[in-house]
Amino acid sequence: MQPGKRESLKSTGSDLDRKYWVALALYAVLGALAWFTLGTGKVFVSGRPVELRLLPLIIIGGLALRTVLARHAEKIRRDGNGDGS
């Protein structure tokens, strides 16, 4: 592989920031679609009634949280001084 092509495979900081905001926007759209698509039924979780449309929002929120934490971890790795301490 040529050296110029190897560098193009790695994402730059601004590219990762753009992907981060696109991912969060798509999570918001997916959450809105789930909210307006699902009915107002209830399901029992641990003996307590929970609104059905909240379950996908909890899962989508967990994925969004994972994305936020991954971005922060990448920023910490990128800003590190590289001496391993």
- Report the SS3 class of residue 28: helix
Q: How confident is the model at residue 79 (pLDDT cuts 50, 70, 90)?
A: confident
Using an 8 Å Cβ cutoff, are 20 and 71 in contact?
yes
Q: How far is CA 37 from the centre of its chain?
A: 21
User: Domain total for the chain?
Assistant: 1
Assess if residue 5 is contained within a domain. no
Distance CA 32, CA 29 (A): 5
Assess if residue 39 is contained within a domain. yes
Assess if residue 82 is contained within a domain. no
Assess if residue 52 is contained within a domain. yes
Could you list the residue range(s) of the whole structural domain that residue 38 is in? 16-76
Assess if residue 61 is contained within a domain. yes
Dihedrals phi, psi of 50, to nearest 5 degrees: -125, 135
Q: How confident is the model at residue 74 (pLDDT cuts 50, 70, 90)?
A: confident
Q: What is the mean pLDDT of residues 55-76?
A: 92
Q: How confident is the model at residue 58 (pLDDT cuts 50, 70, 90)?
A: very high
